[in-house]
Chain A
């Protein structure tokens, strides 16, 4: 089993695990961790495609690797925004539940 085939299967497993965690965990920080897991699985799939694209004297296809680098930075930025929202929500409301029922406003209040 070459490293790229193995990495591809690992990538598929990570995507599945991450998807499971994203859906079942109620805590948003754990959902974020699961999302990062999916992200790293997707990047691994890019990686095996880059490795398979070895040609013309290169050991890899540089385009997918460059896309992964861009993706890692964007995923980090997403995590930072999510963390900021989670922390602020926790500080202001004392709870981080995402259940819409919990946030339904009591009757009589209004919104602008």
Chain B
């Protein structure tokens, strides 16, 4: 149906959403140990769908679209997958699959029990996070994205407190309240957009939007809400306790994917709905907040006694890098594409590297019985693969070659110099130095000659999964130019230029 805007391969978008969604319903109904099996069985299909979507987007050279119910916007809802959607879908599929296989050891239903609280909750929440992220990546309607954000919150919060300890309950409650504030602020912005233009479809809004106070207010509200959910400084207080105290598989998904979901929507808002507006001031503010996050998060990471808290503060810092994409990719200059590539590469490299680090921290904590950095003396000799993973993941976080992190930071430096905004090089380089500091804090005692006893042998499968993810983070450093061209598919330029 060409008139509704649906492209022939658009049905893949619906299938990609409905697969994990059906998994939720099936797991909830038959429960017990089947929830795990449903999740594990659906992961290869989800990955295949993500790859198929990427293939079709690449082949067409433009976004694939599906008008749900055959009813086009503004009355109906459309799904739209462009270059960055496809890439994020693949990343989400890989990390969710990795988390699913990693978590089998801890969240299998115990023998002799038909159904257990922890297992059912984990497997259904994991599928729910996957469903919500898929909708966020391919959604084209702002209110649909609001419901997806709520779904993401309701799925992520119980994972934080799944082991029932009081501090995790408090962290989950704080996370929930921040997230609810974020959602309602976002919704208020959406209301104002509707009141001004009577549509919530992203391309339609982009056509109609103008630089009026209503639009600026709406954009500010939506951005403030999404910043709270992405834990950008100064709204980051909820993240370290929540991510550090969750089980390792959950922390990996939370730090690697969940915070990227709300960031993705900030990108959609500023680069897809509002590119025709003069956004230099806003870009500068976001870049400044990002820089503050990089410095502050890294300094806090240096001061942590526990490994998982250090990694969580590292997330706060690395999220700061993401917001440098706003000043570095704005407009239609030659350096804008460099900035855009830098931002997306940072999203992907951090997702894989951070997930690998949290997985490794989980293996380490299980094996040693604690995650106190001070007591890690000589641990690398008994857990060689795990510490190799941490070292390689740290390489990406620091921004050393060869790694996706290096690629991202190198592109950021290029873009900031080419655009004459050389001052952004300072937080990029400073953050890299500080990251080297906190990675050194982990590795130095571990590689020393201490003696440490293993309480339990490390699970080889978990170590391998973590290592595989960190290799992906490194492999991203070799991404060819076609990859960066792919990221540009579907990105609207500023007004006046094709």
Contacts and interface: CB of A to CB of B under 8 A. Distances in A.
Interface stretch (B3-11, B164-172, B386-394, B402-410): B164-172
A13 to B, nearest CB: 14
Given A35-B184, A92-B169, A111 B194 contact: no
Given A70-B147, A89-B166, A110-B370, A49 B194 contact: yes
Interface string B126-168: 0000000000000000010001001001100110010010110
Contacts of A49: 191, 194-195
A93 B184 contact: no
Nearest to B179: A78
Given A64-B194, A93-B169, A98 B174 contact: yes
B488 interface: no
Chain B interface, >50% SS class: helix
A88 B187 contact: no
Nearest to B173: A85
Contacts of A31: 177
Q: Is the interface of A mostly helix, strand, loop or mixed?
A: helix
Interface centre among A63, A85, A98 (most CB of B within 10 A): A85
Contacts of B153: 78
A42 B188 contact: yes
A30 B173 CA distance: 13
A82 B180 contact: yes
6 contacts: A42-B188, A45-B192, A74-B147, A78-B154, A81-B158, A110-B370
Interface stretch (B20-28, B36-44, B239-247): B239-247
Contacts of B366: 112
Interface of B: 75, 143, 147, 150, 153-154, 157-158, 161, 164, 166-167, 169-174, 176-177, 180-181, 183-184, 187-188, 191-192, 194-195, 198, 237, 241, 244-245, 247-248, 306, 308, 362, 365-366, 369-372
Interface of A: 15, 22, 28, 31-32, 35, 38-39, 42, 45-46, 49, 52-53, 61, 63-64, 67, 70-71, 74, 77-78, 81-82, 85-86, 88-89, 92-93, 97-98, 100, 102-103, 105, 110-112
B495 to A, nearest CB: 26
A111 B169 contact: no
A110 B365 contact: yes
A71 B143 CA distance: 10
Contact of A111 (B164, B181, B237, B371): B371
A45 B191 contact: yes
Nearest to A48: B195
A89 B166 CA distance: 6
B470 to A, nearest CB: 21
Contact of A103 (B150, B157, B167, B247): B167
B182 to A, nearest CB: 11
Given A88-B169, A100-B241, 13 more contacts: A15-B188, A35-B177, A35-B184, A42-B191, A85-B176, A86-B173, A89-B169, A93-B169, A93-B170, A97-B170, A100-B170, A110-B372, A112-B247
A103 B167 CA distance: 5
Nearest to B199: A63
Given A78-B150, A98-B177, A112 B191 contact: no
A74 B179 CA distance: 13
Nearest to A35: B180
A102 B237 CA distance: 14
Contacts of B245: 111
B188 A45 contact: yes
Contacts of B172: 85
A97 to B, nearest CB: 7
B184 A103 contact: no
A89 B173 contact: yes
Contacts of B177: 22, 28, 31-32, 35, 82, 98
Contacts of B181: 22, 35, 38
Contacts of B365: 110-112
